[in-house]
Every structure is written in C-alpha cells, then in structure tokens.
Amino acid sequence: MLHSCYGINEKGHFTIGGVDTTVLANKYKTPLFVLDEQKIRENCRAYTSAMNKYFVDGSTIHYASKALSFKGIYKIMSEEGVNVDLCSLGEVYTAKSAGFDLSRACLHGNNKTDDNIREAIRAGVGEFVVDSFEELEALEIIAGEENVVQKAFVRITPNIDCHTLKAISTGQLDSKFGTPIETGQAEKLVRRALELKNVKLIGYHCHCGSQVFETQPYVNQTEIMFAFAADIMKKTGYAPEYMNLGGGFGVRYTENDPQIDIGENIRLIAEKEKEICKKYNLPEPKILMEPGRSIVANAGITLYTVGTVKHIEGYRTYVSINGGMTDNPRYALYGSKYEALLANKASLPKDTSVTIAGCCCESGDLIGENIKLQKAERGDLLAVTVTGAYNYSMSSNYNRVPRPALVIVNNGKDRLAIRRESYEDICRNDI
Ligand code: LLP
C-alpha cells in the first residue's frame, strides 16, 4: 500500500485508518471523500517536530488550506497548534466560522481588492503576504483608515526552477505572483514597506511551486532569499523577524513516485540557512513553511460505485464511475496520475489495465488511463487513493453534479464533516 493509513482487512476489503471502506460506502453512499484524521495529524507533526529541532524558536508551519478547506480542517489545525495560510476571503470566512484564531492566519493572493483588504483586516487576519507595490500602497491606506498597524510579509520571487509542472510553478521570475529580486523591484518594495506607518514589515515570503520532489530547489531558494535578506540588511539595517519558505513538498501518488522525507528535507534547508546566516552575519529569523498537499493528500481517498464497464475490442476498457472531473479535475487539468483499487475486492490481483471514466458529458472526464485494477463489474466499490489535496477544494458543479460528502475517520470511528450537496443546493442561487 502507498501510505500507512491504507490497508486490507480480513474480509479482503480496503480500509483507511483501520475502517472498512465498504461499510462507509453503505452508510454514507458514493461518491464519498474519506480522510484519516490521524494521518493528517502525523503529517503536521512531521513538520513541526523537524522545525522545532532545526530552526529557532517560533518557527512553524502555516497549513496552506487551498489544498483542502472546510470548517473541520481548521479545527484540527487549531488543535495541532498549526497556523494557516488563507488565499481568499472564502477561506477567511470558513476559518473564522470554524472558530479558528485568525491572528494565526496569513492572507495570500496576487490580486487582493480594496474590499478584500478591508474585510480581512476587520476579520482580524494576523498577517498579509503583500504581493506587489500596488497592494502595499493600498494596504497602507486601508490599514490607516481602519486604525491598525497591519503585520505583513512581502512576497519575493527568487527565480527558481523547481522542475514541476508549469501550471503549478510559482517561483520563476516571470510569474503572476510576487516581486522579483533580479529586476531590483524586490529591493524597492522592501524599502517602501520600511517607510510605511500602518504596515509593519515582519519578513519575506517565497514559494517555488507545488509537487516538488527534489530538495535542491529549496536549498537554492534558501540561499537566494537569505542572500537577499543580507543585502537589504547591509543597505538599510533591516533584518527580517521571519523568513517564509513556502510549501510544495511532493507527495507519492503512485508506486513510481519517490517518498519524501519531510524531516530530512527540513534538515538540509536548515543546514543551508545556518551557513548563509553565519556567512553574512544575519540574525537567524524564525522560519515559516506553508505545506498544503503534504499535510492532507495521502490522508484522503475517494470512493465511487462502478457503473458501466465497456471493453472496446483491440482498444481499451472503460470503467465508468459515479463521479469524475467534478470531484477530481486533476487528470483533466494536469494529467496527474493516480492509483485505484476495487475496495470490495482489495485482496484480488490487479490483473486488468483500464481507463477510469467519470460521468460528465465530456470525453476528457477521466480519472486516469492505464490504471491497474482488479476485474471490475457494475456495483463494485472503486477507491482512488491520495485524493486528500486539491480534489474537494477544486471540485465543481459542472453538469450540475452535486459535490460528494466528506467523512473523517479517527481511531476506528467515522463522522460526517461535509454534507453531500443536494439538487436544491445546486439551484439555491438561481432566480
Ligand atoms: N504557499 C503558496 C503561496 C502556494 O501558492 C501554495 C500552492 C502552497 C503554499 C501550498 O503548496 P503545496 O504544499 O500544497 O504544494 N491545484 C494544483 C496545486 C496548486 C498549488 C498552488 N499553490 C494541483 O492540484 O496540483
């Protein structure tokens, strides 16, 4: 099995967190997202324990909740003592509704409108990640009007190639995010931030991309960001209290993907950070990281019911399911690879190779091609693994398909965390 929370029980059924998925499917129906709470907590702790070990006190993670945002996840993060990264007012609202202390949240976005800025300040968001000059000036004015001194990072683009898909790379110079070092604009942005009354610069932020398997881009990014910080210190005397190195560690979706050792990655980043701080006489800042995928992806699965199984002689077998791109658009969007199994036949050999097709009226609605699977028949329960990140959060109502429910399992118990959408929900804004 790809991850430790997955298993097969004595009935030959697929389990997550020790819970029989066929029982969950009977109880909650399909399609269904299932998350293992203990795995999420374990992933958080892999970060926090390594960060406590290698970085100065006060270093921590901000869970990037774009990976999966719903009230229950903010409760878990709150209990784990983890901060959160929010990237829209919708996420701000969700976190606040869950009772999350927003002073422990930061707000991202390459285009925060004046209304967004004001609402986020009023909601009490602790830190802004300022993306551009325009945003910095707007924040200064609005924070002044709201009578607050708003803590902020500036987002810097270090110009890193992290060898992931273009669509999910962010640290390159030519990006909609952040302000580049190489053009001199980052220095100007920092100098301006230091002049302001209503914005308090607390440090720098960068993020190179997502689903990154190599450690070297992080080491390079650390070197560039700290050299930048040292240069600014030399010129202005300003030393950052925080350095936010972003998220992006890769996750194992298939047997062909490597397993990332979070602690070892952090140790290597820390080694470089300490070397550079020493070299430039820069006081070691508190380090922040923003993992999303590596906190929730492997803790999640999706359960579907198999419908039509169609074999086209000489071509391929389509196994159609009662979900698809509406709950998991990642194959359609990025060609992302997944593994699947028949949860009710989990101990049988995977001796067929199939295309898993969704039920939308669109040929590109596939979960994957050439997927190894037990022999499928109508009524089987199909599980797609590692769907905890960027599935529910990217789901849609295309074809007016309702979003699935999401269930959390924890130490053998299950609880509903997001209700299944109804057809009334789908029409609720129609006039
Ligand atoms: N911080 C910032 C500023 C980000 O832009 C992101 C992801 C993260 C943290 C979290 O990265 P993670 O640890 O999750 O890799 N929808 C795409 C992924 C887009 C990621 C966008 N930014 C996908 O399904 O692969």
Pick the residue whose CA is nearest to atom 16 on ligand 1: 390
Tell which residue, 89, 114, 115, 118, has the closest CA to residue 105: 89
Is the CB of 67 inside a 6 Å radius of any atom of ligand 1?
yes
For residue 134, the model assigns a pLDDT of: 96
Cβ contact 340:328 at 8 Å: no
> 253 pLDDT exceeds 70?
yes
Which atom of ligand 1 sits closest to the CA of residue 155? 3
Which atom of ligand 1 sits closest to the CA of residue 246? 1
Taking the domain 108-291, which CATH number applies? Answer: 3.20.20.10
For residue 159, the model assigns a pLDDT of: 83
> 164 pLDDT exceeds 90?
no
For residue 163, the model assigns a pLDDT of: 73
**175 band by pLDDT with thresholds 50, 70 and 90:** confident
Which atom of ligand 1 sits closest to the CA of residue 293? 14
Task: Give 292 Cα–ligand 1 centroid separation in angstroms.
Answer: 6
> 296 pLDDT exceeds 90?
yes
Residue 214's CB is within 10 A of a number of other CB atoms, namely: 15
Is the CB of 392 inside a 6 Å radius of any atom of ligand 1?
no
Is the CB of 250 inside a 6 Å radius of any atom of ligand 1?
no
Query: Which region holds residue 222: left if phi is over 0, alpha if psi is between -120 and 50, else beta?
Result: alpha
> 171 pLDDT exceeds 90?
no
Q: Per-residue pLDDT averaged across 262-288, rounded?
A: 95
Task: Give 129 Cα–ligand 1 centroid separation in angstroms.
Answer: 15
Six-digit token pair at 87? Answer: 């990237």
Beta strands in 206-260 (DSSP E): 242-244
> 160 pLDDT exceeds 90?
no
Whether 361 is catalytic is: yes
Going by the DSSP 8-state scheme, the letter that residue 212 receives in this structure is B
Q: Per-residue pLDDT averaged across 46-61, rounded?
A: 97
Say which residues have a Cβ less than 8 Å from residue 269's Cβ, sequence separation at least 6: 54, 215, 218, 219, 222, 245, 287
Q: 242: burial class by Cβ within 10 Å (0-12, 13-18, 19+)?
A: buried
Task: Give 214 Cα–ligand 1 centroid separation in angstroms.
Answer: 16
Ligand 1 site-directed mutation target among 293, 298, 334, 396, most atoms within 8 Å of CB: 293
**90 band by pLDDT with thresholds 50, 70 and 90:** very high
Catalytic residue among 44, 162, 208, 361: 361
Compute the distance between CA of residue 6 and CA of residue 17 in angstroms, rounded to an integer: 7
Cβ contact 40:255 at 8 Å: no
Task: Give 64 Cα–ligand 1 centroid separation in angstroms.
Answer: 7
What is the helix (H) or strand (E) element at residue 89, kind and residue range?
Answer: helix 89-97
Residue 42's CB is within 10 A of a number of other CB atoms, namely: 15
Ligand 1 site-directed mutation target among 66, 221, 386, most atoms within 8 Å of CB: 66
Q: Which SS3 state, helix, strand or coil, does residue 303 take?
A: strand
Query: Would you list the domain boundaries of the chain?
Result: 6-36+297-427, 108-291
Compute the distance between CA of residue 150 and CA of residue 156 in angstroms, rounded to an integer: 19
Compute the distance between CA of residue 18 and CA of residue 297 in angstroms, rounded to an integer: 18
Q: 24: burial class by Cβ within 10 Å (0-12, 13-18, 19+)?
A: buried
Q: Which SS3 state, helix, strand or coil, does residue 420 take?
A: coil
Cβ contact 101:81 at 8 Å: no
> 383 pLDDT exceeds 90?
yes
Q: Per-residue pLDDT averaged across 98-107, rounded?
A: 98
Taking the domain 6-36+297-427, which CATH number applies? Answer: 2.40.37.10
> 81 pLDDT exceeds 90?
yes
> 374 pLDDT exceeds 90?
yes
Task: Give 158 Cα–ligand 1 centroid separation in angstroms.
Answer: 17
413-427: pLDDT as tens digits: 999 999 999 999 999
Q: 66: burial class by Cβ within 10 Å (0-12, 13-18, 19+)?
A: buried
Q: Per-residue pLDDT averaged across 1-29, rounded?
A: 97
Q: Which SS3 state, helix, strand or coil, does residue 29 take?
A: coil
Is the CB of 64 inside a 6 Å radius of any atom of ligand 1?
yes
- Across the chain, mean pLDDT equals 96
Six-digit token pair at 380? Answer: 């089987």
Q: 2: burial class by Cβ within 10 Å (0-12, 13-18, 19+)?
A: middle
Which atom of ligand 1 sits closest to the CA of residue 330? 24
Six-digit token pair at 267? Answer: 């140790």
